[in-house]
Every structure is written in structure tokens, then in C-alpha cells.
Structure 1
């Protein structure tokens, strides 16, 4: 009996190897599907940029007020703007991956995809790539408004900004893969998780305040995840003018660890879903 996701094995061993090998063409095909879906929907495009823009406007004016009242904030007037932009990278990275996956579930398309030679790792790669595209669509207009409204150029951080961006995006992927796995296993009744789970990291990441404000035990919890190291590193760049390599190394190491766990968890849940026929029977 052929299960969803199983592919009839070609007779030629070379064809079997080609079917099993990781294919960038299949990754591009999934990306192209989501690109056309996103490009053809104005509400989807507006939603990607709406919240980053609203947060920039709100926190930008708060920063302007505090800059006139606090000598500490005056040393790095854009600290709140930089913080909200980096947080939104993680938030958009999570949503970009989750929503691309759930688009397939809402369309009841997973079973159709996996009777093709598409492999789960290729789907993950395509979802990550679409997450990057969705995140950039949301963040780039917000950085432009930050410069136009408040004369703050986040790109003045230089290469540290790229390191922060990649680390926050990777943590967004970790959460996105975890949520996608749970939605695949539990059903669409869990589709609110992308908006819920990520905010568990909000109070322990030191987004708008230093980590030493927290109780010691909560600092230990916060430093167990990459965002706390990213935001501490960001403040070090803004106040000291240089990268804190210890925080960067910790963020990278934690992201690699959690990303490997998240990918492994997704592959495990996918295998269970395929065996139980959940790729075709998607519901709440």
C-alpha cells in the first residue's frame, strides 16, 4: 500500500538516486508557488509591512520623547527602534515560515505535494527561503520610515546588524518549525500558536531593557535562548561601538543547536503524519 509521500521507485538506480537526492529545483518550485500566491494577494502583501510600520511609528516617537528626557537614551537615540526592528525580524521569520506551511494545510495541498518527489527537507528549505522574502518585505519599508521620520539609520551598525538579523531569523525558524510540527500533528485547531508561542520569549529576551534588570534565575532562562544574547550584543554595539563576541558566539551556538532539534522534530512528526495519513486528513 502506498502512503501519501511515498514515491514509486524508478527502475534505474541512477533515477532512484536522483529522486532521493536533495533537489534545489523542487525547493524553487515550492518557493515559486508561494511567491505567486503572495504576489497575487494585495492584503497578504499589506499585512507583511503593516505591523512593522506601525511599530516603527509608535516606538520612534517614544524614542524621540525619551531622548529629550534621558542622557542615557541620548547616547543611543535609536535603541528602541533598533530593538523593535530586530524583534520583528524574529516575529516575521516565525510567521513567514508558519504561514507558508499553513497555506498548504488550508489548501489541503500537503498530500498532493508529497506524492511528487518532494522531500521534507526540501519543503523546510523552501519555507525558510520564503520566510526570508516575507521578512524583508515587512522590514525594509520600516527601516526606510525610521530614517525618514526620525533620521535613524539602523544600517549604521554595519556588519553586526547582519549577524543580529541572521540570528533572529534563525530563532524565528526554530519557533516556526516547532509550531508547524504541532499544527501538522494536532491539526488546524492549533493554528493560533505562531502568535502565542513567540511572545513567551518577549519578557526574557531583554528587548527594551538590559538583562540584569531580571531576577538572576530568569536571566539564566533568558540566556538559554539566542534573542537575549542578540539584544545584549545590540546594546553593546550602540553604547560601546563594538561587537561583543561572546554574545555573538553564544547566539550562533544556541541557534545551531535549536535549529537542528527543530528540524529533527519536524521530520519525526512528518513521518508519523505520513504513516497515520494525516497529510490527507487535515482538520481541527
Structure 2
């Protein structure tokens, strides 16, 4: 092994170094840590009390108490997955650090793996306390979904990562003027994701659009477990398969835009 190769370390070492950098940034500010759980907690309280009200008014929600709470929590898994990745990327943009990173042996795929890992950490740090608060406030545990919860979680995370990578590539290529898309990207999908209502409620022409997205399978599967105590394997398989497709497409988009930015010399000029 040459001296240069030894100094560069293994791909796993470089990914771990990038994750450690962002972990230090996160750990160094209690406000950043608080923010991870703040919005999920606010939404949990709001939707929790709304669920309690509806449970006294309608038989559907009374039969499946927690549908709205579970929908909110799982939707936030998607939002946190996409935002966690985008924020880790934007931290490098804001600090003008991209040029330094890619002057090192760090490769784009390792950079992507690093911010994906950090997104997962951010999601877990933000969501676990909120699920505990849900039990304390309302006596409802999303863990009652059982093992399908793992499928729902990773399907939503992978879809969020795919969207986040595509948006990160666009911000890299177009500059921080496109930063707004990082904050709003997944919310445009909320009406067709079936978070709080079945996909059958949508107009017939819009339903194929919904079924082309992984969240539709996740939330339909969630309602099947809560309302009918039934696990639908076809929904779990559809959610995972589509999420993998979108993750691959998102990474491909990121690489295409990254290579374009590198050819134009944009990696060292981006920042606040």
C-alpha cells in the first residue's frame, strides 16, 4: 500500500469522519438538538387532542384510535429523513466547506453515505422522545404496529433520502437561491400520500399518481394494521421496492448535478 493510499484511509473511515463532523456540530448546540424534537412534539400534541375529539364523534376513529397520531408520526419520519439529509448538506454549503471536502480523498458516494447516515441519526434523535411523549400524553404507542413499523420507517427514510439527494444536487448546481426547495420539497406530496385519509378519497385521475409514490403504500398499510389488525404484504413490498427505486434515482440525480457543478468550478464558490 502506498503512503498516499494509507493516508487516505478506507471509504468507511471517510464516511465515519464526515458523520463525526456533523455529530460534533449537532452535539455542540442544544438548540439544534431541541429543534429535532420540537416540531414533531408540537404536531403530536395537536393531532393527539384532535384524535381524542374525533374518537368521541366518529366510529371509524373510535375503532382505530391512533390513526391520526400514527399518520402524523410516520409523516414526520419522511420529513425528518429528507430535511435531515438536506440540512447536513446545507451545513457544508453555508460554511463553504464543499471545496475542502472534495479536495480530500472523499468521494461523492462517500459524501452521500455520510449525510444519509447523519439523516438517520437526526431522525432517531428527534422521533424517539416524541414516541415516548405520545405514550405519556395519550397512552398510545406507535410501536403497537409491530414489525411492519420497521418496514414503514425505512421505506419512508429511503424515499426521503432520495428526495433529499436530488434537492441537494439542485442546490449545489443552482446555488443557495434554490435552498427553499430543501424546506418545502416533500410537503407538496402530502395531499397525495394518504397520510390522514385513504387513497380512495382522491379523484380517480389522481390515484395513479398517489400509487406511484411509496408513502401511499406505507399509510394504507398502517391503516390496515390499526383498523383491521391485518398486515398486507403487497403494500409492504410496494413501499420498499418503490423507495429503493426513488433512492437510486435521487442518487443518480445528485451525481449528475454534482458532476456538472464540478465541471463549472462551483464546488469552491458556494456559500452564504
Q: TM-score range by the shorter chain?
A: over 0.9
1:53 maps to what in 2? Answer: 41
2:57 maps to what in 1? Answer: 69
Contact 2:14–2:106 (8 Å) recurs in 1: yes
Contact 2:198–2:220 (8 Å) recurs in 1: yes
Specify the SS of the correspondent of 2:258. Answer: helix
| Cα displacement (A) at 1:276 | 1.0
What TM-score results when the alignment is normalised by the length of structure 2?
Answer: 0.96
Q: Deviations over 1:209-245 (max 9, x none)?
A: 0110001111100100100110000001111212111
- Cα RMSD over matched residues? 1.7
Q: How far, CA to CA, are the matches of 2:209 and 2:112 in structure 1?
A: 28
1:165 maps to what in 2? Answer: 153
Q: How far, CA to CA, are the matches of 1:62 and 1:130 in structure 2?
A: 33
Q: How far, CA to CA, are the matches of 1:179 and 1:191 in structure 2?
A: 8
Q: Does 1:85 align with 2:102?
A: no
Contact 1:226–1:254 (8 Å) recurs in 2: yes
Matches within 5 A, 1:103-118: 103-118=91-106
What TM-score results when the alignment is normalised by the length of structure 1?
Answer: 0.92
1:31 maps to what in 2? Answer: 19
Runs of 5+ unmatched residues, structure 1: 1-9
Q: Does 1:188 align with 2:194?
A: no
Tell me the matched-pair count. 272
Contact 1:22–1:122 (8 Å) recurs in 2: no
Q: Does 1:279 align with 2:263?
A: no
Contact 2:159–2:244 (8 Å) recurs in 1: no
Contact 1:22–1:119 (8 Å) recurs in 2: no
Q: Provide closer, same or farther for how the CA distance between residues 104 and 160 of structure 1 changes in structure 2, counting only shifts above 3 A.
A: same
| Cα displacement (A) at 1:17 | 10
| Cα displacement (A) at 1:283 | 4.9
Q: Deviations over 1:22-67 (max 9, x none)?
A: 6110000000000000000111111111000000000000000111
Specify the SS of the correspondent of 1:69. Answer: coil
